[in-house]
Amino acid sequence: MPTYQGSCHCGAVRFSFEHPPIERGLRCNCSYCARKGALMTPEVIAREALRIEADDEVLGLYQFGSGVAKHYFCKQCGIYTFNETLRKPGFFRANLGCLEGVDTESLPADLFDGRHML
């Protein structure tokens, strides 16, 4: 499996993970994800497989609703980097726009209906 490298815009948050070749993305239509407009990894990433390099004071966390989903971003540049999922706590999806060598404009995308989740 390929190893993907990612970072926020300023580089203060860096991360990597192994993942099957990325040939499509996933969009969520919940009120938060629709506003950030990110294309995410199609498969989830186990916590132990996601390697994060960031100081605690730089990595921000936003939660809403049930507080189960955790949306991480860089406090310096504001870029959303990855999130812990609502339906599968302990597993993550990464923002494909943060990954080196991934052309998000050329990828087809599936839609996750987060708008109608509890």
Residue 41, domain CATH:
2.170.150.70
Cβ neighbourhood burial of 93 (10 Å; 0-12, 13-18, 19+): buried
Which band of pLDDT confidence, cut at 50, 70 and 90, is reported for residue 115? confident
User: What's the token pair of residue 25?
Assistant: 């993305």
Its domain, for residue 76, covers 3-116
Among the listed residues 45, 78, 37, 38, the one whose alpha carbon sits nearest the alpha carbon of residue 59: 78
Instruction: Say how many domains are in the chain.
Output: 1
The 10s digit of each residue's pLDDT in 81-99 is 999 998 899 999 999 999 9
The 10s digit of each residue's pLDDT in 38-52 is 999 999 999 999 999
Judge whether 91 and 43 are in contact, CB under 8 Å.
Answer: no
β 51-53/45-46 pair status: unpaired
What's the DSSP call for residue 49? G
| pTM of the entire predicted model | 0.91
